[in-house]
Amino acid sequence: MFHPTYYDVIVIGGGHAGTEAALAAARSGARTLLLSHNIETIGQMSCNPAIGGIGKGHLVKEIDALGGAMARAADRAGIQWRTLNASKGPAVRATRCQADRSLYKAAIRHIVETQPNLELFQQAVDDLLIEGGRVTGVVTQMGLAFHAKTVVLTAGTFLAGKIHIGQAQYAGGRAGDPPASTLAQRLRELPVAADRLKTGTPPRIDTRSIDFSALQEQPGDDPAPVFSYLGSSSEHPRQVSCWITHTSEQTHELIRGSLDRSPLYSGQIEGIGPRYCPSIEDKVVRFAEKSSHQIFIEPEGLDTFEIYPNGISTSLPYDVQLALVRSIKGFEHAHITRPGYAIEYDYFDPRGLQPWLETKTIPGLYFAGQINGTTGYEEAGAQGLIAGLNAALAVQGKAPWYPRRDEAYIGVLIDDLTSNGTIEPYRMFTSRAEYRLHLREDNADLRLTETGHGLGVVPQARFDALRAKREAVEREIQRLGTLWAAPNNALGAAIERQLGIAVSRETNALDLLRRPELDYAKLTTVSELGPAVERADVAAQVEVQTKYTGYLERQRDEIERQRRNEHTAIPASFDYDKVRGLSIEVLLKLKRSLPATIGQAARISGVTPAAISLLLVHIKRRN
Ligand code: FAD
């Protein structure tokens, strides 16, 4: 008889990792339970209400290409949209939206509540059930036991969370939410290596107390970009502007004079914070030569008066926060609605994870999100999707799956974490990927959707949409390749007349499109070329694939070369001590990381190509 406390997959935590994990597991057919502290906070953005940005936008597109929720929710919640790096090459262009915090949360909750195979339950998880070394379920705060074949933990900043504002400190998972202290204590007894990290957030300000006449307006792009491959800008709510202001010398003076009261500098906070999203006190100390820092003033939503001043994250005492805010142009009479704070929390060394995010020491237990040392909704969502999918695959007796570094930013993220670990909050950048030209935002669906469909995580309708797009792109490339302009034919004459380009030899339309001064829109104004494709995404794909053919082919060759050894498995029982010629440093690093493949081993810092050759010889001899 069906017992409601038995599931295939249990996901702990309804944040960005947890919702994607639960949705992915359920989409792939596993009976899934999502347990979270509070159903009202499912999909809550703990910090800045924005999705995407450089490197992060790529992750959002990949989550979408694999059927995830983040892009669809952002399309319904984005109130200011921009394409960053729009004037640069397609590899580094990135979509970002400022989101209405409530609309985003509502969209995620709707997607979660309408997902078949997925049940929700509001309870804090206090313990894991482990039998014979394997996870078998969880126990909640009120003593309820839920059993499952696999468990995905996505507790975010909540594990032993400690909030700091000046010298004041108290236990919390984030402002307004309780920490997960009992579970954190229990996890510290298990064979998973834990440490502390910290992150922070700025004070929020009432819009009505800001003098906008002193500030620089930053409207969104028109037309607004879209995140989901199945989305449309008609889904976007009303659009608003962001604004820009700057800190002043007076701000910096105030901060310098209060450092002795900062928990960061008094030694009260031990965890390391995010390098690329530092607190304002960190910026003033580290970049002492700068007299001003930029602040983006970002609305928190359409129906609220609160704004998020991006760039002044702080854990200084409240009186200093108020004074520093009021020293900023336009904020002279600002009313703070919520103080800024820092939070310290437990995270686990991600080198203790398999590349499919299962813990190496407790089979059936998966970790995803901030607890693996990352920062950001997008990084969390990406890991959640992979962990949830693999938890479901394991239940179905199928082999694990994770994308390679040359297939997806998700592959780069997971490989960086599981091979090298991290001692500071890790965020994604395009510079972390070797094969940037391949891993573009515009082709995440072409890279991943078919594989996702095969794995059961991408529904048929999305796969059909991909096929239609791929066929349209191929058709158009083929068509352009058959249209020849020559000095003495009608097309050649039209090109010369309408585009001012001399046609001195026979050349087809694809070659013309490769010319730097032409893009698809301009080329297809020549009516002799026949009707252009109507879909903007198809036209963009035709243009990128044609213009960058040479570079893409060269990168493909390089990927092929790397791939030959990338997936050579290193057996779990492999005895590194038996490999003659490895230096002590390399030996220690390999034994600590226990890489699953030669590819992973090669990316551990300090592991040389010579060491890799020795490993390969030894593995081949063993086989
Ligand atoms: P979370 O979003 O934290 O979700 C965790 C979920 O698990 C919550 O729903 C919680 O209730 C639930 N939960 C936890 N423990 C239990 C339990 N025992 N039982 C049941 N449910 C449980 N990111 C940036 O990119 N830039 C920033 O500047 C930035 N600043 C931040 C500042 C602060 C103060 C905070 C708190 C976060 C900040 N972040 C920032 C990080 C961003 O919020 C996280 O990266 C992201 O939310 C992580 O997603 P997650 O799913 O791993 O965890």
* Atom 24 in ligand 1: residue holding the nearest Cα: 376
Residues facing 306 on adjacent strands: 206
Do the Cβ atoms of 373 and 426 come closer than 8 Å?
Answer: yes
Residues 6+ apart with CB under 8 A from 45: 99, 101, 104, 105, 377
Query: At residue 571, does pLDDT exceed 60?
Result: yes
* Atom 14 in ligand 1: residue holding the nearest Cα: 155
Residue 393 confidence (pLDDT)? 98
What is the dihedral sign for C-alpha 603, 70, 124, 7? Answer: negative
What is the dihedral sign for C-alpha 294, 298, 304, 305? Answer: positive
The answer to the question of whether 143 is labelled as a binding residue is: no
The overall longest dimension of the chain from CA atoms, in Å, is 85
The answer to the question of whether 262 is labelled as a binding residue is: no
User: Nearest-CA neighbor of 411 among 49, 8, 69, 65?
Assistant: 65
The arithmetic mean of pLDDT across residues 568-579, rounded, is 91
CA atoms of 557 and 512, how far apart (whole Å): 25
Cα-to-centroid distance, 18 and ligand 1 (Å): 10
* Atom 33 in ligand 1: residue holding the nearest Cα: 200
Residue 4 confidence (pLDDT)? 61
Which of 35, 128, 158 maximizes ligand 1 atoms within 8 Å of its Cβ, making it the mutation to test the pocket? 158
CA atoms of 14 and 27, how far apart (whole Å): 16
Model confidence pLDDT, tens digit, residues 193-226: 999 999 999 999 999 999 999 899 999 999 999 9
The answer to the question of whether 15 is labelled as a binding residue is: yes
* Angle at 429 (CA atoms; ends 435, 94), nearest 5 degrees: 85
The answer to the question of whether 127 is labelled as a binding residue is: no
Conformation bin of residue 330: beta by default, left when phi > 0, alpha when psi is -120 to 50: left
Q: Where are the alpha helices (DSSP H) in 396-443?
A: 409-415
Residue 199 Cβ < 6 Å to ligand 1:
yes
The arithmetic mean of pLDDT across residues 230-238, rounded, is 96
Model confidence pLDDT, tens digit, residues 357-382: 999 999 999 999 999 999 999 999 99
CA 577 vs CA 264, 413, 612, 618: distances in Å: 43, 30, 14, 11
Do the Cβ atoms of 69 and 19 come closer than 8 Å?
Answer: yes
Residue 18 Cβ < 6 Å to ligand 1:
yes
Residues facing 35 on adjacent strands: 12, 121
Q: What percent of the chain has pLDDT over 70?
A: 99
Which of 46, 56, 122, 417 maximizes ligand 1 atoms within 8 Å of its Cβ, making it the mutation to test the pocket? 46
Query: At residue 38, does pLDDT exceed 90?
Result: yes
CA atoms of 208 and 497, how far apart (whole Å): 57
Give the chain's mean pLDDT.
94
Query: At residue 43, does pLDDT exceed 50?
Result: yes
Model confidence pLDDT, tens digit, residues 76-115: 999 999 999 998 988 899 999 999 999 999 999 999 999 9
Residue 272 confidence (pLDDT)? 84
Which atom of ligand 1 is found nearest the CA of 343? 34
Residue 548 confidence (pLDDT)? 92
Residues 6+ apart with CB under 8 A from 173: 37, 156, 157, 158, 161, 179, 180
Q: Torsion over CA of 27, 28, 30 and 34, rounded to 10 degrees?
A: -40
